[in-house]
Amino acid sequence: MTDGSYLAWLVEADGRPVAGAGVWLKPVQPGLRGPQPELPYVLNVYCDPAHRRRGLARLLMGDIVTWANDHGHRVVELHASEDGRPLYESMGFLATNEMRLTLT
């Protein structure tokens, strides 16, 4: 975090954090995603169960998208859980084809 490659957003209620999200500035080769050498990758989106369904994740994601746009990024990526997918889709995120090889 000290090198600036991870950014965090928090929502507080009654003086304590109740929701948060992070962005890892993932190193990438400049190309179709844009000229910048990093890509904002959203992770660690969480909302305390007692504060869910109040729009906090949408608020956080809106702030992250605005931040990315303001900093010249053309793409924001994330891996959606089944619970989170409807939120991201409603904000315009599109599913992509992801493949993984686990090495033993």
How large is the average pLDDT for residues 78-102?
Answer: 91
Residue 50 to residue 42: CA distance in whole angstroms: 23
Q: Which of 3, 7, 4 is nearest to 65 (CA)?
A: 7
Class of domain 6-90 as given by CATH: alpha beta
Cite the DSSP H helix spans in 1-104: 56-70, 85-90
Phi and psi at 83, nearest 5°, equal -70, -35
**pLDDT greater than 90 at residue 1:** no
Question: How many residues are listed for the chain in this entry?
Answer: 104
Domains of the chain, by residue range, sit at 6-90
Confidence of residue 87 (pLDDT cuts 50, 70, 90): very high
pLDDT tens-digit map of 30-66: 777 777 899 999 999 999 999 999 999 999 999 999 9
Helix (H, G, I), strand (E, B) or coil at 4: coil
Among 49-58, 63-72, 90-99, name the one with the lowest average pLDDT.
Answer: 90-99
